A and B are shown apart, each in its own frame.
Chain A
Amino acid sequence: MKNKLTTAREAVGKVKDGDSIMIGGFLTGGHPENLVSALVNTNTAGNLTIISNDTGTQELSVYQLVKSGRVKHIFASYIGSNPETGRLLMTGEAKVQLFPQGTLAEKIRAGGAGLGGILTPVGIGTVVEEGKKKIKINDREYLLELPLKANVAFIKAHKADETGNLIMNGSSRNFNIVMATAADYVVAEVEEYVKAGEIDPNHVNVPGIFVDAIVKVG
């Protein structure tokens, strides 16, 4: 069995100029803080694309990342908690694209699930529909939203076993589960690491095959 256990520094070392990075979490909940902190402090790749529900809060390292000038494109649904993302949007220093939260989640799911896109009624009649194809089905209009994938995903879980099976706690599941399916290199930051067989298969939130690297913290 391949040993997936690694360090934050080594894991973030895989990030290259121009990469797209999914970052799990909802505000401070289920956010892979140690991985993002390592990306800020030990990696200099620029021209990055960030896909995150909210780009975190001012206390998190993702705030520093967005502030560093290394990010040129952001996909998010809510950025009120990170004033720096708002500033980039206003000044145009980075391209910031906002999507309804359910649409963002489903675009990522489509990316991981091999779908060509999803049809959602959300955003019809608003600026969200600009530039997107509209399709009418049974007299109701839907927007075609295209799949999202990334080079790298940083996600947070409570526990991993050697095979990469993950367990997440409480409200920390959020975007971490879909993001695990939609990136080429998926790194999970975990609080506990156990041998294969020590996680009840009934309780696995993310099958280990989606996880390339595990970083144990704390």
Chain B
Amino acid sequence: MNNREFIAKRIAKELKDGDVVNLGIGMPTMVANYIPKDIQIMLQAENGILGVGPKPALEEERPDCIDAGGNYVTAVKGACFFDSSFSFCIIRGGHVDITVLGALEVDEEGNVANWMIPGKKVPGMGGAMDLVVGAKKVILAMEHVSKNGSPKILKKCRLPLTAVNVAKTIVTDMAVIDVVPDKGLVLKEIAPGLSVEEVQRATEAHLMISPDLKFIEV
């Protein structure tokens, strides 16, 4: 299992029966592969589907059934379609239980940066800002450090923010961390084989250690 699969699989354990869930593009989408068999959730796609199903067979691909990443999908039994205005009524209005998104940076206050790198890459925020502000619970799926090894979990975000005080849980290849308002980051779980010191060394922000600290199980 690679890091991305490990992260996606751990996040899938956060989902509860009946949840309305929006998965971002990339690693968050992989969470759908690991949804526990004994629960049913409704996946929301901001382009206008509640009840996104698996990828269709080639001959069943329909241009009128794509997800927010532009990929062909199916609609599950009980699914429904709606327009963008209604879709963001669901998102901004607090009717999404969990959103899972990638992040470039997150900090001790739960501030998130995931939509642009000034001067380099400006793909736009798409629905990310609405999702992190509107969803009841924001889970970040991210590699613990960047490709060059520098921390992405910071004291204070340096990149332009997506929103302030929104992240609830951060799941990485090294740890599961909760953001506690007005307190900071609490280390809840660490990857098997790692020590708390190793996780802290890879993290710029200060980590408080949960009294129930345990190893991540996937």
Residues of A within 8 A of B (CB): 26-30, 53-54, 57, 76-81, 86, 89-90, 98, 100-103, 105-106, 108-109, 120-128, 158, 168-178, 205
Instruction: Report the Cα distance A135→B126, complex, angstroms.
Output: 24
CB distance A120 to B126 under 8 Å?
no
Stretch at the interface among B5-13, B28-36, B136-144, B156-164: B156-164
Instruction: Report the Cα distance A77→B82, complex, angstroms.
Output: 19
CB distance B126 to A101 under 8 Å?
yes
CB distance B70 to A122 under 8 Å?
no
CB distance B68 to A26 under 8 Å?
yes
CB distance B62 to A98 under 8 Å?
no
- The verdict on A29 contacting B84 (CB below 8 Å), with A170-B75, A174-B48 known, is no
Q: Is B211 an interface residue (CB 8 A)?
A: no
Contacts of A103 in B (CB 8 A): 129-130
- The verdict on A173 contacting B48 (CB below 8 Å), with A28-B70, A98-B124, A122-B130 known, is yes
> Which residue of the partner chain, among B48, B64, B75, B92, contacts A120 with CB atoms under 8 Å?
B92
Q: Is B133 an interface residue (CB 8 A)?
A: yes
Q: How large is the interface on B (under 10, 10 to 19, 20 to 34, 35 or more residues)?
A: 35 or more
Q: Is B122 an interface residue (CB 8 A)?
A: yes
Contacts of A108 in B (CB 8 A): 85
CB distance B164 to A171 under 8 Å?
no
CB distance A173 to B83 under 8 Å?
yes
Instruction: Report the Cα distance A105→B128, complex, angstroms.
Output: 14
Instruction: Report the Cα distance A78→B115, complex, angstroms.
Output: 10
CB distance B122 to A79 under 8 Å?
yes
Contacts of A81 in B (CB 8 A): 70
Contacts of A124 in B (CB 8 A): 133, 163-164
- The verdict on A86 contacting B123 (CB below 8 Å), with A81-B70, A170-B64, A173-B82 known, is yes
Contacts of A178 in B (CB 8 A): 83-85
- The verdict on A171 contacting B84 (CB below 8 Å), with A77-B127, A79-B124, A122-B92 known, is no
Contacts of A205 in B (CB 8 A): 83
Contacts of B81 in A (CB 8 A): 169-171, 173
> Which residue of the partner chain, among A98, A125, A168, contacts B164 with CB atoms under 8 Å?
A125
